[in-house]
C-alpha cells in the first residue's frame, strides 16, 4: 500500500495541478497579508475560503484523479496486489498531496509573518486542521463516488452535487426544519445535525473562535454546555476524525466487491 | 447678676471659638492614651484631625457627628468582624482618608456599609481600601462631596445576598473618581442622584451592573472601564446623561450587555469603546439619544434596538467585525443611521467623496431569522446564509426597509 501511495504521491507532486493549487493558496494568503498585516483578520478571511473551496477542490481533484489513472489502476489490478491497498494507496496519495498543498500554500506565508510567537497560533492551527481534514474527507468521498460509477459524467455530477449538498443544501434544509418546528426546543437537533456534516463541523470550530460573543447570547442549557466549555471543541474535533474514517471504510468495501 | 451672666457667656464663646480655630490632633494607636477610634471621636471637637496609626481595630458603629478628619497612617485596619457597619457619618465637612475598612457582615434586613454618610454635606472620602464590606460606601441625602481613589472589593456570590460597592441615594453634586470597584452586586449605584460626575473608575466582576443609574438626571460619566460585569452600565429612567470615552469590554452571557438603556431621554453617547460584548448596547424605550464617534468591535450584536425607540441618531461610528451590526425588533423605525463605517460594507465610491454610493443595510436577513428561531445560530457564516443574505440585500422583503445608512463612510474612522 505504501508503495502505491508513494507512486501516486510522486505522480501528483509532478502534476501541474498540484502546483497551481499550491500557488493559488500561497497567492491568496500573500495578497490577504498585503491588504492587512493583522494576523487574525487574515485567518478569518482564510477560514471562509477554506470552508467553501477546500471541499470543492478536493472533490473535483479526487474524481479527476481516479478517472485519469484508470489505465494505471487496471495495470496494477493485474498484479498480485491486494485491491484495498491499490485504492487506499491512491486515495491517500491524493489526500496527502491536497493536504500538503494547503499546508505549504497557507502555512508557510504565516511563518514569514511570525505566527509562531503570536497569540493567534491556536486559530492558525484550527485553520490548518480543518483544512487538512476537509481535504481528506472530501477527496475520500470523491474516490468513493468514482469507484461506484463507471460513467465519468455521472461521477463528476454526483461529486459536485455532493459538495453542493454539504456546503449549501444541507444548511438550507436544516434552517427550514428549524423554522417549521420553531415551537419545539430544537437546540439538540440543531447541534446534532451540524455534527453530521463535516463542513458544518469545521464551521462550528471556527465559530467557537470568532463569534463566541454572539453565541454566548443564546439562552439554552445544551448550547451553553456545548459552547461554553471545551466540550464543543473536543466533540467537534472527534466527529471530524470519525468523518475522516467514513470514506476510507467506504473505499475499502466497494473496492473489494467491485467487478472490473 | 445679669452682668455676670453676660460675662461668663462671652468668656465661654471666646473659649469655644479658640478651640475651633486651633484644631487639635488626636492620635489613636494601641500604645497611646486613646486606644479606640470611638473614644477619639467622642473627645474630639469640631475640626480636629484624628490620626489613626497602624493597627487592627475591632470597632463598629463609630458615629461621627461633628466635622472631623480621620486619617490613617500606614493603613490601619478597621474591622467589623462580620457584624455591624463601621463608620457612620452624620455631620458636614468630614474627611476620611487612608483607612482600610473590612469585614462588614451580610444582612438581609439592613443595608450595612463600610462607610455610611447620612444627611451630610461637603465630605471627602479618598484613598481608602474597603474589603468585604457588604455595601462599601453608602450615601443617603448627601450633597457636594468627592469619593476618590478608593478600592472597594467585595466577595459577592449571588445578587440577593450582596451589596453595592458605592451606593448613592438622593444625592447631588457628587464626584466619584478613580475608584476601583470589584465583585459586588453593582459597582456604582445611583438612585435619585443629580448633577454628579463619575470619572476614571475601574469596575470589574460585578454580578449585576458595573454602573447603574436609576431616576438620575443631568449626570455624566467618562473614561471609565467596565469589564466582565453582568452588564457594563445600565441607565434606566433617567434624563440628560452624558457618556464619553468609556471602555465596555467583555461582558459575556445570556443577558449581558455593554450598555443597557431603558426609558432614557436626551442622552449623549460618544467616543466610547465597545468590544467583545454579547450585546454592545441594548436599547429599550429611549428617545433623542445621540450615538457618535463610538467604536463597536467584535461584539455579538453591536446595537440591539427593542421597541419604543424614537428619534435616535447613530452617526460617525465604527462597526468593526461584529457578528450582527444592528438588530431591530420592530419593523418601523424612525431612528437615523448616517455616515458610519461598517466593516462588512461592500459598496463603492465612484465620486471619491469618501462616502459610499450604495446605501448599507445593517440589518441582515439572518438577523431576522435568528430573532425568530434562535437555534438557527448554528448556521452562522454558512454559505447558504450568505446566499440568502445576498438575495435579501438585492431585494429587501423581510428586513425593515428604513433601517439604512444612505452614505456609509468608506474608511475606518480613527478615534
Closest partner residue to B278 (CB to CB) among A191, A210, A217 is: A217
Share of chain B above pLDDT 90, in %: 60
> Could you read off the pLDDT of B215-227 as tens digits, one per residue?
999 999 999 999 9
Contact B381 A203 (CB under 8 A): yes
Q: Is-contact A182 B372, C-beta < 8 A?
A: yes
Q: How far is B373 from chain A (nearest CA, A)?
A: 6
Give me the pLDDT at residue A6, please.
Answer: 79
Q: What confidence tens digit (pLDDT) does each residue in B5-17 have? A: 555 555 444 444 4
- Identify the pLDDT of residue A219: 59
Q: Is B7 on the interface with A (CB under 8 A)?
A: no
pLDDT at A92: 87
Structure confidence at residue B19 as a pLDDT band (50, 70, 90): very low
**Nearest CA distance, B390 vs chain A (angstrom):** 14
Select from B365, B367, B339 the least CA-distant residue to B353: B339
Confidence of residue A170 (pLDDT cuts 50, 70, 90): very high
Computed over every residue of chain A, the mean pLDDT equals 85
Name every chain B residue with its beta carbon within 8 A of the beta carbon of A217: 253-254, 256, 278-279, 300-301
Main-chain dihedrals φ then ψ at residue A83, nearest 5 degrees: -60, -45
Q: Return the pLDDT at B14.
A: 45
Percent of chain A with pLDDT over 90: 24
Contacts of B377 in chain A (CB under 8 A): 190, 214-215, 218, 223
Interchain CB distance below 8 Å, B383 and A179: no
Whether the per-residue pLDDT at B1 is higher than 80: the answer is no
Angle between helices A152-164 and A39-68 (to 10 degrees): 160
Q: According to the model, what pLDDT value does residue A88 have?
A: 86
The cell numbers describing A146, all together, are 468514482
DSSP annotation string for B247-294:
EEE---STT-EEEEEEEEES-EEES-EEES-SEEEEEEEEES-EEES-
Closest CA to B147 of B84, B105, B234, B89: B89
CA distance A160 to A21: 18
pLDDT over threshold 60, residue B22: no
pLDDT digits (tens, 9 = 90+) for B103-129: 998 888 888 999 999 999 999 999 999
Taking CA atoms, what residue in A is nearest to B375? Answer: A187
Taking the CA of residue B380 and the nearest CA in chain A, the distance in Å comes to 8
Question: Contact A189/B375, CB-based, under 8 Å?
Answer: yes
Q: How many residue contacts between A and B have a Cβ separation below 8 Å?
A: 101
The model's pLDDT over A125-164, given as tens digits with 9 standing for 90+, comes to 888 989 999 999 999 999 999 988 889 899 999 999 999 9
Residue-level pLDDT at B18: 43
Mean pLDDT lowest among A176-180, A210-214, B222-226, B274-278: A210-214
Confidence of residue B386 (pLDDT cuts 50, 70, 90): confident
Question: Do the chains contact at B300 and A216, CB–CB below 8 Å?
Answer: yes
Q: Kindly determine whether residue B256 and residue A216, on different chains, have CB atoms separated by under 8 Å.
A: yes
Q: Mean pLDDT of all residues in chain B?
A: 88
What is the tens place of the pLDDT at every residue in B294-303?
999 988 889 9
Q: How much is the pLDDT for B144?
A: 94
Q: Does A62 have pLDDT greater than 80?
A: yes
Q: Where are the domains of chain B?
A: 240-363+400-415
Q: Which of A167, A206, A218 sits opposite B374 (nearest CB)?
A: A218
Distance from CA of A210 to the nearest CA of B (A): 8
Q: What is the pLDDT of residues B51-82, one digit of tens each?
A: 999 999 999 999 999 999 999 999 999 998 88
- Confidence check: pLDDT of B333 > 80: no
Cβ of residue B394 closer than 8 Å to a chain A Cβ: no
Of A168, A194, A213, the CB nearest to B378: A194
DSSP structural state of residue A2: H
Say how far apart CA B178 and CA B146 lie, in whole Å: 11
Angstroms from A174 CA to nearest CA on chain B: 8
Most confident of the ranges A65-69, B144-148, B385-389: B144-148
**pLDDT tens-digit series, residues B334-376:** 889 999 999 888 889 998 898 999 999 888 888 888 888 888 8
Residue-wise pLDDT for A6-22, tens only, equals 777 787 777 788 888 89
Bridge partners of B339, per DSSP, are none
Residue B168 pLDDT level (bands cut at 50, 70, 90): very high
Question: What tens digit of pLDDT does each residue of B155-165 get?
Answer: 988 888 889 99
CB under 8 Å, gap of 24 or more: what pairs does B108-112 form? B108/B161, B111/B135, B111/B138, B111/B163, B111/B167, B112/B84, B112/B85, B112/B163
Q: Is the pLDDT of residue A202 over 90?
A: no
Q: Which of B205, B175, B206, B207 is nearest to B190 (CA)?
A: B175
pLDDT at A258: 79
Amino acid at each position: 500500500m505504501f508503495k502505491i501511495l508513494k507512486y501516486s504521491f510522486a505522480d501528483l507532486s509532478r502534476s501541474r495541478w498540484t502546483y497551481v493549487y499550491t500557488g493559488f493558496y500561497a497567492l491568496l494568503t500573500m495578497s490577504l497579508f498585503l491588504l492587512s498585516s493583522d494576523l487574525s483578520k487574515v485567518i478569518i478571511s482564510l477560514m471562509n475560503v477554506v470552508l467553501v473551496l477546500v471541499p470543492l477542490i478536493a472533490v473535483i481533484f479526487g474524481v479527476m484523479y481516479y478517472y485519469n489513472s484508470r489505465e494505471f489502476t487496471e495495470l496494477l489490478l493485474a498484479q498480485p496486489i491486494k485491491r484495498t491497498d491499490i485504492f487506499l494507496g491512491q486515495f491517500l496519495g491524493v489526500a496527502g498531496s491536497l493536504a500538503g498543498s494547503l499546508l505549504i500554500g497557507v502555512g508557510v506565508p504565516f511563518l514569514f509573518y511570525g505566527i509562531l510567537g503570536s497569540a493567534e497560533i491556536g486559530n492558525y492551527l484550527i485553520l490548518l486542521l480543518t483544512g487538512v481534514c476537509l481535504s481528506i474527507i472530501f477527496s475520500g468521498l470523491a474516490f468513493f463516488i468514482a469507484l461506484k460509477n463507471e460513467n465519468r459524467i455521472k461521477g463528476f455530477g454526483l461529486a459536485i452535487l455532493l459538495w453542493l449538498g454539504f456546503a449549501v443544501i444541507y444548511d438550507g434544509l436544516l434552517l427550514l426544519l428549524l423554522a417549521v418546528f420553531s415551537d419545539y426546543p430544537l437546540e439538540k437537533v440543531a447541534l446534532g445535525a451540524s455534527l453530521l456534516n463535516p463542513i458544518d463541523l469545521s464551521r462550528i470550530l471556527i465559530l467557537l473562535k470568532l463569534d463566541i460573543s454572539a453565541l454566548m447570547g443564546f439562552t439554552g442549557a445544551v448550547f451553553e454546555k456545548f459552547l461554553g466549555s471545551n466540550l464543543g471543541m473536543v466533540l467537534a474535533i472527534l466527529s471530524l476524525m470519525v468523518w475522516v474514517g467514513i470514506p476510507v471504510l467506504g473505499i475499502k468495501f466497494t473496492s473489494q466487491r467491485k467487478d472490473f | 447678676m445679669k452682668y455676670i451672666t453676660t460675662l461668663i457667656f462671652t468668656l465661654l464663646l471666646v473659649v469655644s471659638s479658640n478651640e475651633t480655630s486651633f484644631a487639635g490632633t488626636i492620635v489613636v494607636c494601641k500604645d497611646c492614651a486613646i486606644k479606640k477610634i470611638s473614644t477619639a471621636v467622642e473627645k474630639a471637637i469640631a475640626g480636629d484631625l484624628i490620626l489613626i496609626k497602624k493597627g487592627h481595630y475591632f470597632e463598629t458603629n463609630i458615629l461621627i457627628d461633628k466635622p472631623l478628619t480621620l486619617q490613617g497612617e500606614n493603613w490601619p485596619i478597621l474591622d467589623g468582624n462580620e457584624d455591624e457597619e463601621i463608620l457612620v457619618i452624620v455631620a458636614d465637612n468630614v474627611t476620611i482618608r487612608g483607612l482600610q475598612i473590612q469585614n462588614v457582615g451580610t444582612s438581609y434586613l439592613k443595608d450595612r456599609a463600610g462607610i455610611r454618610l447620612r444627611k451630610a454635606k461637603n465630605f471627602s472620602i479618598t484613598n481608602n481600601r474597603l474589603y468585604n464590606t457588604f455595601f462599601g460606601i453608602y450615601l443617603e441625602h448627601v450633597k457636594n462631596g468627592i469619593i476618590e481613589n478608593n478600592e472597594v472589593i467585595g466577595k459577592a456570590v449571588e445578587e440577593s445576598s450582596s451589596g453595592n460597592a458605592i451606593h448613592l441615594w438622593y444625592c447631588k453634586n457628587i464626584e466619584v473618581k478613580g475608584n476601583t470597584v470589584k465583585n459586588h452586586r453593582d459597582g456604582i449605584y445611583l438612585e435619585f442622584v443629580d448633577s454628579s460626575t463619575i470619572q476614571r473608575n475601574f469596575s470589574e466582576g460585578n454580578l449585576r451592573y458595573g454602573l447603574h443609574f436609576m431616576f438620575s438626571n443631568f449626570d455624566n460619566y467618562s473614561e471609565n472601564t467596565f469589564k466582565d460585569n453582568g452588564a457594563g452600565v445600565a441607565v434606566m429612567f433617567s434624563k440628560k446623561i452624558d457618556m464619553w470615552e468609556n471602555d465596555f469590554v467583555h461582558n459575556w452571557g445570556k443577558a449581558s450587555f455593554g450598555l443597557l438603556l431603558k426609558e432614557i431621554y436626551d442622552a449623549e453617547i460618544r467616543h466610547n469603546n465597545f468590544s467583545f460584548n454579547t450585546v454592545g448596547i441594548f436599547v429599550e424605550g429611549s428617545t433623542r439619544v445621540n450615538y457618535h464617534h463610538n467604536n463597536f468591535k467584535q461584539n455579538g450584536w453591536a446595537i440591539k434596538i427593542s421597541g419604543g425607540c424614537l428619534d435616535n441618531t447613530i452617526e460617525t461610528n465604527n462597526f468593526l467585525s461584529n457578528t450582527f451590526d444592528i438588530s431591530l425588533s420592530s419593523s418601523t423605525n424612525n431612528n437615523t443611521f448616517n455616515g458610519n463605517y461598517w466593516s462588512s460594507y461592500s459598496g463603492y465610491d465612484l465620486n471619491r467623496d469618501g462616502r459610499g454610493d450604495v446605501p448599507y443595510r445593517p440589518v441582515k436577513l439572518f438577523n431576522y431569522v435568528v430573532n425568530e428561531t434562535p437555534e438557527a445560530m448554528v448556521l452562522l457564516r454558512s454559505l447558504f446564509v450568505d446566499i440568502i443574505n445576498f438575495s435579501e440585500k438585492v431585494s429587501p422583503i423581510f428586513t425593515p426597509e428604513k433601517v439604512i445608512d444612505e452614505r456609509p463612510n468608506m474608511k475606518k474612522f480613527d478615534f
